[in-house]
């Protein structure tokens, strides 16, 4: 983007952000013009979900791989009966004043810049998880949403699942006592990505835009569509990719809206020989100021299949998401009086199971809340203009995504770290604090002031 282009973009953004019509509450009959950015993989689901919502019109598609446009345009035509415009560069797309909202399904390392630019341009935003690539990015996203009065939904979509919402209400209300520990068990087996040689950039792919803020490198298939998940310049590891869904629900169920004070993460890359840089096994724990603990495992190798389990350990039992949400109340079974034999030994101490433990399932009350997709919830908040209507506002997404960032920093430094939730800085640790942000490749830099 030239300096002239940038001035024109910022001027348009300031005008759009100040326009009172954009900030006014909308009726359900008003059409919301939406653009989807990133139409490979998850972006296909964005197209399908938004296309079915009444009075939402997908007017634009944006991707650096222009080879994807014919199929995606055809899908919108089939679903909505009109032909959307296509853009290779989001900055050009954001200059359109008729676009009300932007849905971002790009690689993680692009989420923050695109969200901030969209907010500056007066657009509401749905941004996929993990919302950011660094802790500082997440905070700047929150600042941009607030400064420009934008509705920004974090794509942690389990928050819109009625069964999850019921379980969270039950835990927060003390249905099984106080939650003192949470645990995430994530098993997501992945095959080796192998090794690939450098190749020429495919025709129709803007490799510079694809890499964006990351360092320039030669094209490799292994680092392109989805392959970016396996390299440090572009990946938040599977703790950030998938684990953040579970860490978010655990934090939400514990009713915690702050960061931990300590973190430790270990693990490694095992079994496979490949180009992959990030670990395929991570294990660690977060400790909070009140002494409560959240521990986690993320494994991409063979294991008993828990897939993604959330566990809440309480003073009266536990709540688990494995095979459907269940609340189990613990019971201790033993005599209240000593059972002393002729030899003077209390036999309770020699029999197996002292004290004996049993569990009874406690029904989790249903609120009867009508099902609503995360995308529907976003559009409703776009119409109401109330941040409180969002199931996962960007600040909630930032707090949960920060857990993944802290875990990865600890893993890479190979040591435990102390964190100050108020300042979002590590305590007396310049090396760790340097990893709260990243070096950006111009002109794709995180703005100092949003």
Asked if omega into 443 is within 30° of 0 (cis), the reply is yes
pLDDT at 217: 95
Distance between CA atoms of residues 119 and 148, nearest Å: 6
Q: What is the pLDDT along the chain (450 residues), one digit of tens a residue?
A: 444 444 444 444 444 444 333 446 778 789 999 999 999 999 999 999 999 999 999 999 999 999 999 999 999 999 999 999 999 999 999 999 999 999 999 999 999 999 999 999 999 999 999 999 999 999 999 999 999 999 999 999 999 999 999 999 999 999 999 999 999 999 999 999 999 999 999 999 999 999 999 999 999 999 999 999 999 999 999 999 999 999 999 999 999 999 999 999 999 999 999 999 999 999 999 999 999 999 999 999 999 876 679 999 999 999 999 889 999 999 876 555 555 666 666 655 555 545 667 899 999 999 999 999 999 999 999 999 999 999 999 999 999 999 999 999 999 999 999 999 999 999 999 999 999 999 999 999 999 999
Q: Strand, helix or coil at 417?
A: strand
Phi, psi dihedrals of residue 185, rounded to the nearest 5°: -120, 110
**What pLDDT shows up at residue 78?**
98
Token representation of residue 260: 């931990």
CB 9 within 8 A of CB 91: yes
Per-residue pLDDT reduced to its tens digit, 236-290: 999 999 999 999 999 999 999 999 999 999 999 999 999 999 999 999 999 999 9
* Bridge partner list, 152: 125
CA distance 56 to 73: 16
HEC string of 129-140 equals: CCCCCCHHHHHH
**pLDDT for the residue 20:** 33
pLDDT value for 246:
97
Q: What domains sit in the chain, N to C, each tagged with a CATH number?
A: 3-160+373-399 (3.40.50.720), 162-371+400-436 (3.30.360.10)
pTM of the model: 0.91
Looking at residue 29, its pLDDT comes to 80
What is the per-residue pLDDT for 320? 96
């Amino acid at each position: 983007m030239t300096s002239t282009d940038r001035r024109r973009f910022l001027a348009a953004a300031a005008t759009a952000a100040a326009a009172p019509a954009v900030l006014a509450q909308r009726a359900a009959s008003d059409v919301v013009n939406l653009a989807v950015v990133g139409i490979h993989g998850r972006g296909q689901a964005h197209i399908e979900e938004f296309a079915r919502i009444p009075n939402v019109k997908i007017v634009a598609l944006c991707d650096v791989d222009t080879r994807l446009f014919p199929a995606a345009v055809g899908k919108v035509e089939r679903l909505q009966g009109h032909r959307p415009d296509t853009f290779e560069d989001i900055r050009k797309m954001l200059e359109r004043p008729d676009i009300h909202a932007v849905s971002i399904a790009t690689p993680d390392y692009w989420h923050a810049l695109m969200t901030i630019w969209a907010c500056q341009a007066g657009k509401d935003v749905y941004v996929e998880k993990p919302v950011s690539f660094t802790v500082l990015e997440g905070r700047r996203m929150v600042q941009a949403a607030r400064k420009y009065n934008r509705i920004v939904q974090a794509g942690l979509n389990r928050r819109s699942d009625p069964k999850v919402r019921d379980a969270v209400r039950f835990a927060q209300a003390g249905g099984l006592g106080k939650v003192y520990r949470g645990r995430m068990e994530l098993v997501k087996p992945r095959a080796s990505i192998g090794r690939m040689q450098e190749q020429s950039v495919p025709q129709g792919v803007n490799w510079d835009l694809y890499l964006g803020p990351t360092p320039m490198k030669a094209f490799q298939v292994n680092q392109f569509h989805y392959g970016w998940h396996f390299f440090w310049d572009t990946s938040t590891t599977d703790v950030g990719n998938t684990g953040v869904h579970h860490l978010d629900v655990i934090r939400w169920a514990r009713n915690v809206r702050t960061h931990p004070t300590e973190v430790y993460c270990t693990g490694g890359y095992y079994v496979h020989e490949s180009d992959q840089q990030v670990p395929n096994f991570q294990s660690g724990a977060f400790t909070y100021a009140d002494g409560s603990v959240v521990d986690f495992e993320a494994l991409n190798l063979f294991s008993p299949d828990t897939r993604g389990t959330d566990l809440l350990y309480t003073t009266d039992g536990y709540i688990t998401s494995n095979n459907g949400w269940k609340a189990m109340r613990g019971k201790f079974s033993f005599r209240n009086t000593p059972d002393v034999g002729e030899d003077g030994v209390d036999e309770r101490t020699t029999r197996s199971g002292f004290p004996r433990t049993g569990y009874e399932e406690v029904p989790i009350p249903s609120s009867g809340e009508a099902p609503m997709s995360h995308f529907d919830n976003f559009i409703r908040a776009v119409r109401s203009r109330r941040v409180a209507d969002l199931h996962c506002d960007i600040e909630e997404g930032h707090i949960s995504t920060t857990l993944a960032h802290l875990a990865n920093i600890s893993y890479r430094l190979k040591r435990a770290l102390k964190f100050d939730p108020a300042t979002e800085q590590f305590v007396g640790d310049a090396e760790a604090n340097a990893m709260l942000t990243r070096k950006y490749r111009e002109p794709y830099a995180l703005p100092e002031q949003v």
